[in-house]
Amino acid sequence: MSLNDPALGFFHQKSKVRVVSIALWCLVVFFAFLTGWAAVDAGSGTGGSAADRVPALPILQASTFVLGFGTMLIDFATAKVRGDLAGWAFLRLVGTLCLGLAAGWSASLIALREFPIWWLLMMVLSIAILCIPAGISRLLRHREREQLRVRSTFRPVPATVTNVQLVKEMDMLKHKVTVSFIDDAGRRRWHIVRTQHSGTPVKIGDACRVQFDPARLRRHSSIVVSFA
């Protein structure tokens, strides 16, 4: 059944959940923008505390961070439905909060005829942070397409497992497996792949198969290893 099937609950429909997630993150940026603007107004005034000068500041601050953490939890809980990685939720929280606050500070300082160079730099950095998930996702999709091309184009050659190590990556146990094979020019090459710890155990000396693009051997994605 498709994740977009109307028979599923609202929070199990990929397209709808994605729209809700994007809308919530935009609200976080908006509230952070208002908080940054209000903070500059409170800091530039005189007399009394910051809350006295801008009574809405504490409310905006509390609303921004409550909304931000709430959106992060929703993003985390719906990551599987949206086809995303749950770990990106915290990165988006940092990026959206910094982007909104920096934009609010910058806009308010520009209105006061000041040039907010440091806050503009933070805006650029925040945008870069928010682009990381999309960039890595695009890289992974390119790698998958490349491996599919190699599988469908080139014949497999015999290979041997020469080393197996248990490693921990992003709180997940994986096997770091080194395989050895002979390329079309008769040279012996070694290639490292990572397999799931819970999968079929791989031992040193096991036989496997390797498919590769002879013209792109320097690219990791142009070598595909099959253990079955």
How is the chain split into domains, by residue range? 6-148, 154-227
- 3-state DSSP helix/strand/coil percent for the chain, to nearest 5? 55, 20, 25
Per-residue pLDDT at 50: 57
pLDDT in tens, 131-189: 998 888 888 888 889 889 988 888 999 999 998 888 776 667 788 889 999 988 889 99
Higher pLDDT: 92 or 202? It is 92
Output the CA torsion sign for 98, 99, 100, 103: positive
Per-residue pLDDT at 210: 92
DSSP-derived letter for residue 206 is: -
- Tokens 């908080």 correspond to 35
Q: Per this entry, what is the length of the chain? A: 228
Q: How confident is the model at residue 124 (pLDDT cuts 50, 70, 90)?
A: very high
Q: How far apart are the first and last CA of the chain?
A: 29
- The β-bridge relationship of strands 188-196 and 207-212 is unpaired
Per-residue pLDDT at 147: 86
Rounded CA gap, 78 and 80, in Å?
A: 6
8 A C-beta contact, residue 102 and residue 32 = no
Average pLDDT, the chain: 84
- Tokens 């792109």 correspond to 216
Residue type at 183 in one-letter notation: D
Per-residue pLDDT at 127: 94
- pLDDT above 90: residue 26: yes
pTM, entire model: 0.68
